[in-house]
Structure 1
């Protein structure tokens, strides 16, 4: 999504950022590379959360003055774009595809989840960072190739990939919030008897039936795999 002036919805010009990545001309000649600055920002976000990423904190990490950072990242929006594409480079793009699009799409979903769990700030950031850098584009290219056996046209394959990414980001966001709640309170212990009481009150028969069904593996990996299977196996490509 871009604006009429060619810049992205975040105000970042993707052509300037990715195709003409020279210095902005602001400040003195930097002593550090864009890669080093981005790596430091990612490490800071991983350790303390995205709100901790300020130009001043990143500059301190690389031992530079704040004005030096502006030569490569003129604002925080640009820095976030660089961070997203930087971690996207951890996604595999060269492993051979199986040719079974459902199998390959599920593998892509698992790779995305693992990446987002390593970088917990990423799911929320994806919803506001529409620019596609080189690493992001490489993984997108792989996903579109994986979906070619569906027979869908290119636009529809893009939609399927967007659907998958949105699902994974939403699920990981839920996982992270549940994990944080479990560590900060006994919410889960209190929730079980409450739901049991509600199910037994006679006013929620559908819920009572659902809760009485045979248990399924509740570990986060098993739960994600089950949800991913349901989503991908249910996709209609006709």
Structure 2
């Protein structure tokens, strides 16, 4: 395809600006910040090379000298917001579970601040500077978990995937109820009443038992913590059984 490199490229392996000439007028940080501002204000679909170039005050074709593909622009954006992680310096955490849960809460908060983030996240972006910083910190936090390094990487991936799914469901629920002429609580109550009627007739005995017991107590934050703790339980248990 015209304009595309014949071999795979990694944006971080490229110089800040391709070709010779004067010192670049913009840094990758400038470009990423402009794209993030647009996405935060108008959504990821509003992010285009033309729009970012306009935000910076340069020509669209000039921007391609810095960022050859839109996929590279997304990678710069993800790395830019990943700099928001507060990663304590020092040796591995004394309580690996508490540290991973704290990081998961930060991820959730970050995705709430940048609702577009889940749309552009990719495992391929794991080689960006802030992604490497994050992964190195996570592995340090997991030093207290008696498990192979590969298992620890799986844990990190599963935690991040669970957080992304949880936040995506939060967004979907909020979006579904935003345009309705009643509150989210009224919508939930109406659906619960309908389900209660369906399972109360005896056709769904297992569902009836589950509804009778009810969900676990607490807020959305409490449910989030329980979800992550159960996931962490599975890794702690697996590590203990391998001894």
| Structure 1: distance between partners of 2:156 and 2:83 | 17
- Partner SS for 2:168: helix
Aligned to 1:57: 51
Aligned to 2:3: none
Total equivalences in the alignment: 227
Q: Among residues 116, 119, 129, which one is paired with 1:121 in the alignment? A: 116
CA RMSD, aligned part only? 2.3
> TM-score, normalising length from structure 1?
0.86
1:155 Cα deviation (Å)?
1.4
Greater Cα offset, 135-144 or 55-64: 55-64
Are 1:66 and 2:55 an aligned pair?
no
Residues 220 and 64 from structure 1, CA distance in 2 versus in 1: closer, same or farther, beyond 3 angstroms? farther
Residues 86 and 107 from structure 1, CA distance in 2 versus in 1: closer, same or farther, beyond 3 angstroms? same
1:151 matched to 2:146? The reply is yes
Taking the aligned partners of 1:26 and 1:175, their CA distance within structure 2 comes to 48
CA contact (8 A) 2:93 2:144 kept: no
Unaligned runs of 5+ in 1: 8-12
Per-residue displacement from partner, 1:41-90 (whole Å, max 9, x unpaired)? 01111122111110111111122211221121112111001001111100
Which protein shows a greater Rg? 2
1:220 maps to 220
Corresponding residue of 1:166: 161
Secondary structure of the residue that 2:127 maps to in structure 1? coil
- Cα distance in structure 2, aligned partners of 1:20 and 1:75: 12
d(CA) in 2 for partners of 1:234, 1:151: 13
Higher relative contact order (CA 8 A, sep 6+): 1
From 47, 64, 70, the equivalent of 1:76 is 70
